[in-house]
Structure formats: structure tokens, C-alpha cells
Structure 1
């Protein structure tokens, strides 16, 4: 695969949520620091960004923010900036808008701190490198990483989008022809959110705006995607990781 543009060098990682469905685990720690397969969930995300060539990442914090900051200070390989939401949770859209103020106007990755994948093939471009090469701002507002539902662990079974042959995305409810799940990572230019509110809002508003403009695209990830939403899901995720490591 040929990467058509320069690597994406900056990212926003959404890590400020309360993790209410993970209680009682999250009664004493933030969800992104819950260890799965021997390391905190957020480290899977940060590792993927670092391996893709990202140099600077903003991480927003709220729930047990001090624990998050301490952990992030110890992470090597990325310059990590903190977007502090201790006083007010901004939802995912508002969190991105606030975090963007700490970055420049170049293309960014946006990722969730508690969604990650395993099983990429060594020696090939990573999923994020592929996504950076796929993203074409001349015809796309956002390019999402997506996954087939059969390649997920811990997901609720709901499809999000339908993907056309060229990667164009529409809502699954409007077109159930080729279903995919949003895998918690996308590339975009910050200018797409120039008119966004500064109050809390859901980024799905801008997913739908991009769809309406015919400018939301996606590509299917290599490997297996994990989401860990409840304490009971931890064991299932760890078993999936053990299985992949056994056959790697």
C-alpha cells in the first residue's frame, strides 16, 4: 500500500468519561487505566498512535484525573498534553473542540481511550498508517476506522454504518446493505469543526453532517477489535488477547 500523504503527527484521545458501566472497578480508578491483557487500555491506543508516527497527543481528563496525569507523565514516546475537564465534562464533541486548542491546524487522529484492536500483521502498514493514507481531505470530511461485527469482542451487536465499495458511509438504519461498526478512531482536518459549539455536544452531529455532504468515509481495520464496557467483559477480552498471542 502506498501512503499518499505525510504521516499524521498529532492526535486527540478521549479519556474523560466516567466509566459508569464499569463500576465497581471505576469507583477507584478511571476506565482507561483498567488493565487488559497486562496493560492499561489507554496504552493500546497510545502505542498505536506512536507506531503510526504521531508525535503529539492531547488527552482529556476528568474522572480520577490525577491518576490519569500521573500515568501519562510516565508514558514514553509521545509528547502528551492534558486537556483538563475536571470542572466540566464536555462530551466527546466538546472535548475534541477544547483539545484542538492545544494542537495546530494540521490533520489529526481522534481516538477513544477505551477502544482498541489487536492482531495487526507485522511488516505491514498499521491500521492508523493505512487510515492516514486513505484520508483525502479534498473529498472527505472524516475518514473512520471501521470493523466487521464478526471481528469484535465485547460489542453490543449493533451496526453503526453501511460502507459502499469506495468506502463511503451512511447510517446502517438508512441502508443495511454492507454493515460495519465504528472502531473508535477517525482522521480529520480541524477546520471541519470550526463552527462547532464550545459547550458539550456529541460528535455524532458531525458524523451526520459529513454523511449529508457525502463526505464521511471509512476503511476496515486489520485484526480484531475490543471494547470492554463492564467488569464481566474483562475476562472475555483477556481470553481473546491470549488466543491471538497464541497464534501470532
Structure 2
């Protein structure tokens, strides 16, 4: 399946990243010299995405100014200045700016490196895997040992058939949600119009045996606190770009 539209969730307050986020939005915090959100946008461009909606709230003007200078994507802004909509409400509001075709959903502060050597990029793999006839959503997940900056929480257990369920102690194949989804916007036709957490739809899909996942290639990074920045930068140094000679 070819997916050319996406939504990036970027409106959070970044409270754990304070004091840095007292003066700037978390997606613009620099990791190895680049704002976090640029890593996410580059991933979308590499996967063939053409149009992306990004929601803004905290220091929204800074976000808009930065995004105006990013080339390679048609970027639309979903404005949440008046009220934060949480992950689910923000997604529903943002998707209304796109058409009804399949879309990726990504978090502005979660990204990965090192999948360039795989047969397909992680998002291309996710798009090919997503089957709306069987799935409400397809998530990209990662084993705990290939995460950087994560708190150790195991989100799901991944079945041999690709189905996900919430992890409970002792389950086989625990994985971490990597912050990328493939879905159809029509999934939210019955959604609330105010703030709600996207986990409601994860649990609904699990109850219907319609939440699936593929395991990503490479190393996954989350940068939740100022102290995590150096760890992320060290990981990035260990994964030089595909066109690098490794020097």
C-alpha cells in the first residue's frame, strides 16, 4: 500500500524536558545539531509522504516558523493554541485537514536510525503490512534491547501472527510502541470531538483482534529529559548515515 499522507503529533508541553522547554517547544530541541522533529520529517520524506499535518500549541509561533523553512513536504498546521486535544483528539482534528486516504501517524519526539541498510525502510514496511480488511491499525514496534532513552516499560506482546495485546508480566515477545501507525482516517468517524487519549482506540482494536504490528529495523530513540540528550547523541554517532564511509 502506498501512503502519501501523515499526521505528526507535536503539540505537547514537554514538561519532563524542562527547563529547556520553558523557552521552546520540545520538537525543536536539538539532538546532534538538529531539531527532533526534523528526524521525523526526514523519515516521512524517505517513505514517499507528500503531505503532512502537524499540530501545534506550546510556543506555536516557533514551530510554525521552523516548519515554514522545511522543504520536501506540503505541511499543514492543526492549531491547538486554544486548547490541547491530547493524542486522540489532536489526531482526529488534524486528520480532518487531509483526505480519506491511508495515513501514517508519528510522534514528533520519537524516531529511529539505522534502518537504511534494511530491504525496506521502516515506514515502507509498515505501509506494505497494513491491511484494513484485517486491521484497525498497524503499529511499528521495537524490542526493548534496541531502544535508547526508554524507561524500560513493555507496551505490548507481539504474537506470531502480528497481533498485539497489552503486555502482562511473563508474556512472550514484549515490545515497545515505536511511535508510528498506519491507519485509515475513517477509523475515527465515531470519535469524540474533544480531548481524549489514543490508547482508547488501541484497546478497542485489541478487543476486536484488529491491532497488529511489525518489528522495526535499526535503533529507536526517545528523548524525554535533558539528561537523555547526550545518550541519544552518542547513539546517533554509532549509526553513521548510509552514505557515510564510517570515518
Aligned counterparts of 1:76 and 1:91: Cα–Cα separation in 2: 28
Find 1:218's aligned residue among 209, 213, 220.
213
Aligned counterparts of 1:132 and 1:150: Cα–Cα separation in 2: 24
Post-superposition offset of 1:228: 0.3
Give the direction of change, closer, same or farther, for the CA distance of 1:82–1:175 in structure 2 (3 Å limit). Answer: farther
Aligned counterparts of 1:224 and 1:104: Cα–Cα separation in 2: 32
Contact 1:162 1:175 in 2 (8 A): no
Contact 1:52 1:129 in 2 (8 A): yes
Q: Residue 79 of structure 2 corresponds to which residue in structure 1? A: 84
Q: Residue 196 of structure 1 corresponds to which residue in structure 2? A: 191
Aligned counterparts of 2:102 and 2:168: Cα–Cα separation in 1: 30
CA RMSD of aligned residues (A): 1.3
Q: Residue 98 of structure 1 corresponds to which residue in structure 2? A: 93
Question: Is there any run of 5+ residues in structure 1 with no aligned partner, and where?
Answer: none
Q: Kindly provide the CA deviation profile for residues 184-232 of structure 1, in whole angstroms up to 9, marking residues without a partner as x.
A: 0000001111100001000000000000000000011000000000000
Aligned counterparts of 1:121 and 1:188: Cα–Cα separation in 2: 24
Find 2:146's aligned residue among 145, 148, 151.
151
Q: Residue 4 of structure 2 corresponds to which residue in structure 1? A: 9
| Alignment TM-score, normalising by the size of structure 2 | 0.96
Q: Residue 177 of structure 2 corresponds to which residue in structure 1? A: 182
Find 2:24's aligned residue among 26, 29, 35.
29
Q: Residue 47 of structure 1 corresponds to which residue in structure 2? A: 42
Judge which range, 80-89 or 115-124, deviates more: 115-124
5 Å-filtered alignment, 1:52-71, equals 52-71=47-66
